[in-house]
Amino acid sequence: MDKKGYYGQWGGAFIPEVLYETFRELGRAFEEARSDPDFWPEYLRLMSSYSCRPTPLTHAANLSDHFGGAGIYIKREDLNHTGAHKANNVMGQGLLVKRMGKKRVIAETGAGQHGVATATMAAKFGFACTIYMGEEDVARQRPNVFWMEKLGATVIPVTSGSRTLKDAINEAFRDWVTSMDDTHYVMGTVCGPHPFPEMVAWFQSIIGREARRQILAAHGRLPARVFACVGGGSNAMGIFQGFLDDPEVELIGVEAGGHGIETGQHAARLAGDDGSAGVAQGYKTMFLQDSDGQMRDTHSVAAGLDYVGVSPILSDLWEKKRVRFTAATDREVMAALELTMRKEGIIPALESAHAFVQAFKEAPAMSRGEALIINMSGRGDKDIFTIADAFKDPSWKQFIIDKGRQYAAD
């Protein structure tokens, strides 16, 4: 019996026996696809015709001038179909599902972006689709729930545990242990049991491959630093893979600092000292847990970063000091979001705005000849309710009150 899917001491496949054959089959399908010379070109064709790949690398001239340091470039994953990098992974897994001949897909979702992307893929490929979403996330990401349902998916609010992403993952697994014969679990991030981290990282590597080419064309040389927000870590792994072999490029992962690391209300597994090694949700990584090994409640304004674990690949890169980790607080995120909208006319998702925070902190001290890249993992339109709340926007509030009255009268 061999031990696969380890990155240093992290990863593995801690799965119940009932899923053993399912994982073997998935691993086989993935290996076959990866070694099939026609598969990646087929994937690229799909992503360039159904989504907007390659996504642009935008030179943020106004922000660069504003900070007066490094040239700031933004990798525009928001311009993917469905508005986030999630589509890269989902469409790739969709092609695998077709190869495996399965008819139904299930997924967990936090912010709802992965759920919308999965529902979209299912509609296009003709699969039945069920999305598990924590009750708390259903409440804060209502527009995405609406779209998932309109796309034909069944959205099941998860009421167990902390009612967020980790609980949605548990429920998706509970579905899968019953339904694995005809169902594929479209894991949304570079977490979970092997081969998910490796597979999702492979599909997301499309971001880094493009970004490397694009920055060389735009800037003439490699960037000094690359910033990405880290929830599970799929957008970060996506862009980092373009630069992992370039030691001169510093890679920075930005986690959710929530109300501040010192308050304990955050989701920083690697930045700060609150994370510790553990095994849950099928893999070994750094978790936010108590001394008994019970997972703790996490907090972030960004549902997509509000998660107890982190990619085993990133835990390894953290341990090897290849990726530096920091955290951005909810308050800092709102300020960076506002500045980016005003200066560049770009609306980052709350998740992505975490990466902007750290880039803005570091840009002024960098030299003018240097470049940095921010991976903008998604667009912020989906967050309109949360953002409007945070800005305490009076005219929006009035609009909702009026709308409520109108619905109540119907």
Partner 1 sequence: MQLTEYLREQKAEKKILLMTHLVLGYPSFEVNREVIRQMVDNGVDLIEMQIPFSEPMADGPVILKANQAAIENGAKVRDCLDLAAEITAAHPIPFLFMTYYNILFKYGVAKFFRKAAAIGIRGFIVPDLPPEEGEEFLALAKEYGIAPIMIYAPTSTEKRMRELAKPGDGFIYCVARRGVTGRKTEFDRDFGDYMARCRRATDLPLAVGFGIGSRQDVDSLIGQADIAVIGTKTIRLVDEQGPAAVGPFIAGLR
Size of the site for partner 1 (CB under 8 A): 37
Residue 105, token pair as written in the block: 């897909």
The amino acid present at 331, given as its one-letter code, is: R
For the CB of residue 318, give the shortest distance to partner 1 in the complex, in Å. Answer: 19
When the beta carbons of 14 and 125 are compared against partner 1, the nearer one is 14
Q: Does 2 bind partner 1 (CB under 8 A)?
A: yes
Sites for partner 1 among residues 304-333 (CB under 8 A): none
Q: Does 16 bind partner 1 (CB under 8 A)?
A: yes
Q: Does 3 bind partner 1 (CB under 8 A)?
A: yes
Q: Which of 354, 357, 343 is nearest to 378 (CA)?
A: 354
Please report which helix (H) or strand (E) contains residue 290, including its range: none
- Asked if residue 281 lies in contact with residue 331, where contact means CB atoms within 8 angstroms, the answer is no
Q: Does 292 bind partner 1 (CB under 8 A)?
A: yes
For the CB of residue 26, give the shortest distance to partner 1 in the complex, in Å. Answer: 13
Q: Is the peptide bond before 364 cis (omega within 30 degrees of 0)?
A: no
Q: Does 295 bind partner 1 (CB under 8 A)?
A: yes
Q: What is the crossing angle of helices 20-35 and 86-100, to 10°?
A: 100
Among 10, 22, 118, 204, binds partner 1 (CB under 8 A): 22
CA angle 21, 169, 155 (to 5 degrees): 110
Among 293, 364, 369, 404, binds partner 1 (CB under 8 A): 293
CA angle 176, 178, 184 (to 5 degrees): 35
When the beta carbons of 24 and 342 are compared against partner 1, the nearer one is 24
Sites for partner 1 among residues 252-291 (CB under 8 A): 276-282, 289, 291
**Which x/- pattern over 106-145 shows residues binding partner 1 (rule: CB under 8 A)?**
----------------------------------------
Residue 206 CA to residue 89 CA, distance in Å, equals 10
DSSP code of residue 267: B
Residue 24 CA to residue 389 CA, distance in Å, equals 46
Which residues are marked as active site?
A: 86, 108, 377
Q: Does 173 bind partner 1 (CB under 8 A)?
A: yes
For the CB of residue 103, give the shortest distance to partner 1 in the complex, in Å. Answer: 17
